[in-house]
Amino acid sequence: MIVMKFGGTSVESAEAIERVAEIVASRSKRSPVVIVSAMAGVTDQLVSMGQKAPSGDCEISLGALESMRERHLHTASELLGKKRAATLASRLEPYFSELENFIRGLAAVRELTPRGSDYLLSFGELLSSIIVADAFAARGLNAAWVDSRECLVTDATYTRAVPQMAETRERASKKIMPLLSKKRIPVMGGFIASTREGVPTTLGRGGSDYSAAIIGAALDADRIEIWTDVEGMMTTDPRLCPDARTIKQISFNEAAELAYFGAKVLHPATLLPAIHQNIPVYVLNSRNLKSTGTEITAQAPRSRDVFRAITAKKAVSIVNVVASRGIMVHGFLRSVFEALDRHAASVDIVAISEVSLSFTMETKRLPQALLADLEQIADVTCENDQAIICLVGEDIHGKPGIAASVFNTVAEAEVNIRMISQGASEINISFVVSESDVPKAVRHLHEYFFPAGKNKMAIAKRNGGVRERKRVNGSASGVRASRLANQKEKPAGKRAAAGTP
Ligand code: ADP
Ligand code: ASP
Ligand code: MG
């Protein structure tokens, strides 16, 4: 059995959904379970409705809801023809009425709670999955819509719920396995789940990838396919750098590091369930049926380049904490880390000197209460609009001169580096720059480390043989790798990685 996940752009229109149906039909013998995102842009629109309605802007939100309704019904009629679309419309209308009531309720109570937000955002995937399932059926695929909220069980951390694997395994098997044994193709929404008690939750923005991996692990899939709008995982975001190349094969550890440090093509937690069960993951292009994409497995052949890829994580803040005079150094560090722990702060990069400590966090996750707490023990300043640039590659371990090449290249781009981290993870070099410098820095680094054609020889020479040295370490260790290992539920299976599609 395989899991196939299609992202927002892959289901954004009737034409895109047609392509999805063709791709799924080409895999029908492999017992696919299909997971879809909301149509492109829909989750953002729901977020915006949820922000506007409580501030009293109910009419704007209701107007946006009406266009959303028209878009879904129009897509359905393009896919299904008038008669079948009318039947589907009567199934979809109750969802739009529910949404309308909810928006009016938000305007009345003037508040959107995290729990309410998950309820609101769940409609995007509910609607798209119902339409896709019907479009499949109309094309002769034996599809069955499955309510993800009855399969995926999470805790109650609304907006970023944590999956409860044992229960998910039980519920998902009960719901999905009988369908597969009848040769049906289950179609479900990604991103959404529910608590044990049935309250809707979401896995965080971009979480449909994660749903695919959770369901893949729960059902012990042979492979997990992430179908998106690019050729696979690339050497950098192709939107930042048009010269980005597709990475044919990459290891779990490298791909996890890239996802964590901003490669939006995969939700950062996606690989955890796959790693636990050693299930190969493929990133493929839904606009190209013949796509071979990227294969992500426990071990990947060494790359010809020094690094596997470059990513940038934007919207980051640097917090500088400087000890007030008279505070003992060891006591100072303890107090700072205790404060971070109290606020469950997830810190990316830390730099420590005797009496000061700087750390970075995603700005939206930086609790104001943490800053207030730190101000009790130190002078605190906070700088927003920063970004972490991260170069990842398992082959960099133990090779001299690589950091120097990275920082020289950044200097050539006339970009100022604010913080540096190398060593915590042996498979990456990361540093902080101002967000506005990201395009310049990434393009320079990409040109240097992934030279195209003629440039290649000249730059390899300039690299002083860095590219030529032998691989020292066969497998990645590093902080994230051991963190992944610590989260293992059961030992990785013996399954060999499947071939490319
Ligand atoms: P989907 O809707 O299919 O989930 P996303 O928009 O979430 O798609 O992710 C795909 C996008 O990720 C691409 O369009 C690309 O701009 C971006 N991206 C960022 N970094 C990378 C990378 N290293 N490789 C490929 N795509 C990347
Ligand atoms: N629709 C959700 C989002 O936009 C989940 C996803 O697309 O993966 O965040
Ligand atoms: Mg995505």
Distance CA 355, CA 220 (A): 50
pTM summary value: 0.89
Predicted confidence pLDDT, tens digits, the chain (501 residues): 999 999 999 999 999 999 999 999 999 999 999 999 999 999 999 999 999 999 988 999 999 999 999 999 999 999 999 999 999 999 999 999 999 999 999 999 999 999 999 999 999 999 999 999 999 999 999 999 999 999 999 999 999 999 999 999 999 999 999 999 999 999 999 999 999 999 999 999 999 999 999 999 999 999 999 999 999 999 999 999 999 999 999 999 999 999 999 999 999 999 999 999 999 999 999 999 888 999 999 999 988 889 999 999 999 999 999 987 766 667 888 899 999 999 999 899 999 887 889 999 999 999 999 999 999 889 999 999 999 999 999 888 777 889 999 999 999 999 999 999 876 567 899 999 999 999 999 999 999 999 986 555 445 545 544 443 333 333 333 333 333 333 333 333 333 333 333
* pLDDT (0 to 100) of residue 426: 77
* pLDDT (0 to 100) of residue 473: 33
Q: Left, alpha or beta for 466 (phi > 0: left; psi -120 to 50: alpha)?
A: alpha
**Kind plus residue range of the DSSP H or E element containing 316:** strand 309-323
Residue with CA at minimum distance from ligand 2 atom 6: 206
Distance CA 367, CA 343 (A): 7
Of the residues 11, 39, 43, which should be mutated to test ligand 2's pocket, given the most ligand atoms within 8 Å of the CB? 43
Residue with CA at minimum distance from ligand 1 atom 12: 265
Q: Is residue 225 within 6 Å of ligand 1 at its C-beta?
A: no
Q: Is residue 205 within 6 Å of ligand 1 at its C-beta?
A: no
DSSP output for 57-85: -HHHHHHHHHHHHHHHHHHHHHHH-HHHH
Could you tell me the distance, in angstroms and rounded to a whole number, from the CA of residue 125 to the centre of ligand 3? Answer: 13
44 CA closest ligand 2 atom index: 4
210 CA closest ligand 2 atom index: 8
203 CA closest ligand 2 atom index: 5
Beta bridge pairs of residue 409 = none
Distance CA 310, CA 270 (A): 19
User: Cα 110 from chain centroid?
Assistant: 31
Residue with CA at minimum distance from ligand 2 atom 5: 206
* pLDDT (0 to 100) of residue 478: 33
* pLDDT (0 to 100) of residue 456: 55
Cα torsion 102, 104, 109, 110: sign: positive
